[in-house]
Amino acid sequence: MAIEDALWIRQKAMEHQKWFEESIPLIASENVMSPLAKEMIITDLNNRYAEGLPHHRYYQGNKIYDEIEIKTEELIKELFNSPQADVRPISGTNANQAVIFAFTSPGDKIMAPSLDSGAHISSAEFGAVGFRGLKPVNMEFNTELMEIDVDKTKKKILEEKPKVCLFGFSVFLFPAPIKELKDAMDEVSCRVWYDGAHVLGLIAGKRFQDPLREGAHVITGSTHKTFPGPQHGVIIGNTSEEDWKLVRRGVFPGVLSNHHLGNVAALGVTAAEMLEFGEAYAENIIQNAQKLAQSLHELGFKVLAEKNGFTRSHTILVNVVDKGGGKYVAEKLEANNIILNKNMIPGDSNKRSQDPSGIRIGTQEVTRLGMGKSEMSYIAELINNALKGKDVREEVKELKSQFSKIKYCYGDHKAYEYIKLF
């Protein structure tokens, strides 16, 4: 019977719940929602459609939802001190697609970091940029400091005259030099776009940088990484009305139809919680990342950007060639219930992406669960022991059992609870 397959899927989902309940989550692009935000996902909003903008919909039945979307945009604008916000994109990449459609035409040049210096795949020739028919030009990068090289990139901007400069990384260790490059970008009349998917919560918490005040016209982002909301997207603007109309049209009808109404409500709840708790949360995320990086370094790991203090975000990048490579290390740690991912590092441009030289670690989720600096030191020891061949699953389980409740939000809730239907 088909219903048996449905129950099998449910059982597998419960097994996944149990596994993560007993694991240390260190994926830099993940987080857990608050109970109040999670509740929004299972309301009737999740069943409905709302094409267009509030009070100008193509469907009836949106009169109450329109109030939610308006309030969510207001909260995002307050949180980021911005005059413009669009909360309809359904992911960070979807938000990126909307900006690409708004600001570029096929054949235009777009300047962004290279993949092996930490850029996101949507800025690559085989990603959203390539699908639009754009010509990507890489910014120059200082691999020792893991930062954009200002002098060389400034020269390249003036030579290449890109239509758009995109500042964005999947490995976003340090603030981007928008202020330092602003004169060059102004000289060639290029728009400035900041992909803050990874660091959106740190920006909201006023602990990373303020891209809009530094010269960015728009910020795109995912809303489920350091910003601990639903899997959704957002665009935040500080640009002309004409440009903002292009962005709005890039979103709809450009790259989406319906925009997942329950997720928008969850985003609004998360924005309100970040206004209340975001500064403390962001501060502790960064402190934990720096402590974990230092602890790994002291154990002999080759943590990148040592001369630059390793990181000023939630992310750590480690060269693990001497420990078997990124694929081996990530799989070995996964077998010990320590969940992180293999990742390219500078110099990997000619290597297979499925077998890179590094691993990427993020501290936003363990911080969300209440862990602090002492736990970061212990996690470094667990990682080291696991890679030396010790089975650390019981130690991981014991540590995690002490940190199961979500912090920096309204309410007291276990992260791995589920609705008991049977």
Take residue 406 and report the two structure tokens written for it: 């979500």
Rounded average pLDDT over 286-298: 98
pLDDT at 6: 95
pLDDT exceeds 90 at position 167: yes
Asked whether residue 182 carries a pLDDT value surpassing 90, the answer given is: yes
Give the residue among 115, 112, 155, 157 at the shortest CA–CA distance from 136.
112
Instruction: Please name which of 265, 229, 228, 223 lies closest in space to residue 94, comparing C-alpha atoms.
Output: 223
Coil vs helix vs strand at 68: helix
Q: Could you list the beta-strand ranges (E) of 149-259.
A: 164-168, 191-195, 218-224, 228-237
d(CA 38, CA 36): 6
With left for phi above 0 and alpha for psi between -120 and 50, is residue 116 left, alpha or beta?
alpha
Q: Nearest CA to 165 among 92, 120, 112?
A: 112
List Cβ neighbours of 131 (8 Å cut-off, separation of 6 or more): none
The answer to whether 364 and 225 are in contact (CB under 8 A) is yes
Q: How far is CA 246 from the centre of its chain?
A: 24
CB atoms within 10 A of CB 101: 18
Q: Which pLDDT value is given to residue 332?
A: 98
Sign of the alpha-carbon torsion through 30, 36, 37, 43: positive
Confidence at residue 415, expressed as pLDDT on a 0 to 100 scale: 63
Domain range annotation of the chain = 38-273
**Residue 154 and residue 100: Cα distance in Å, rounded?**
22
pLDDT at 422 over 50: no
pLDDT at 265 over 70: yes
pLDDT given at position 122: 76
Q: Is the peptide bond before 253 cis (omega within 30 degrees of 0)?
A: yes
Residues 387-396, mean pLDDT to the nearest whole number: 98
Tell me the average pLDDT across 268-272.
98
Instruction: State residue 420's pLDDT score.
Output: 47
Q: Is the pLDDT of residue 131 over 90?
A: no
pLDDT of residue 412: 61
Q: Which of 63-77, 126-140, 250-264, 296-310 has the lowest mean pLDDT?
A: 126-140
Mean pLDDT, the chain, rounded, equals 94
**pLDDT tier at 125, thresholds 50, 70, 90:** confident
Give the residue among 410, 175, 83 at the shortest CA–CA distance from 274. 410
How far apart are alpha carbons 74 and 67 in whole angstroms?
A: 11
pLDDT tens-digit readout, 87-104 = 999 999 999 999 999 999
**pLDDT at 421 > cutoff 60:** no
Q: What is the DSSP letter of 259?
A: -
Query: Does the pLDDT value for residue 413 go beyond 70?
Result: no
- Check: CB of residue 55 under 8 Å from CB of residue 225: no
pTM > 0.85:
yes
Q: Any idea which fold 38-273 has?
A: Aspartate Aminotransferase; domain 2 (3.40.640)
Residues 43-69 pLDDT 10s? 999 999 999 999 999 999 999 999 999
pLDDT tens-digit series, residues 189-241: 999 999 999 999 999 999 999 999 999 999 999 999 999 999 999 999 999 99
Closest by CA to 36, choosing from 368, 414, 410, is 410
